[in-house]
Amino acid sequence: MPKGSGKQLAQNKKAFHDFFIEDTFEAGIVLQGTEIKSIRAGKANLKDSFAKIENGELYLHNMHVSPYEQGNRYNHDPLRTRKLLLHKKEINKLIGETKETGYTIVPLKMYLKNGFAKVLIGLGKGKKQYDKREDLKKKEAKRDIERAFRDRQKM
């Protein structure tokens, strides 16, 4: 099964707009009991989240998981830091890459794979404002071409 396949639960669309994603990794995530229930209900948000390596381990910061409705006092802190599970070799590769200036680790999407929650993280280099404008121009041009092609098909 390729990376990133499975039932998609959350996606960080802003990451592709703000970063050039050069490499991706599939990571497991350590969750508490009510968190997985809330995530399965689609109550997770990766928008402002980022990953950081601390003491040789990878942690996900600022991922918002809404409290579970039936969770009562066992609910979790919505913005708590969660540990990501990767092989040591992959973590070492990320450490080497992020030491270069401009590289950061960004979560791209969260999905279920064989009943387990997985996070697809990407190694990204920040885009400048003019890069973002170029991407928007390309996307708009592609959309115009498809629209013209579709109109031509109708005739």
- Contacts of residue 64, Cβ cutoff 8 Å, sequence gap at least 6: 44, 45, 47, 48, 49, 78, 79
Q: What is the pLDDT of residue 107?
A: 92
Confidence of residue 28 (pLDDT cuts 50, 70, 90): very high
Cα angle value 146/137/106 (rounded, 5°) = 105
Fold classified for 8-127: Small Protein B; Chain: A; (2.40.280)
Buried/exposed 80-95: b ≥16 CB within 10 Å, e otherwise = eebebebeeeebeebe
Tokens of residue 52, six digits: 């950081």
- In angstroms, the CA 38 to CA 26 distance is 21
Using a pLDDT cut of 70, give the percent of the chain over it. 94
Q: What is the pLDDT of residue 87?
A: 93
Burial environment of residue 118 by CB neighbours within 10 A (0 to 12, 13 to 18, 19 or more)? buried
- In angstroms, the CA 28 to CA 112 distance is 10
- In angstroms, the CA 1 to CA 36 distance is 22
CA atoms within 13 A on the CB side of 95: 13
- In angstroms, the CA 80 to CA 90 distance is 24
- Contacts of residue 129, Cβ cutoff 8 Å, sequence gap at least 6: none
Residues 99-107, mean pLDDT to the nearest whole number: 83
133 pLDDT higher than 60: yes
- All structural domains of the chain with their residue ranges: 8-127
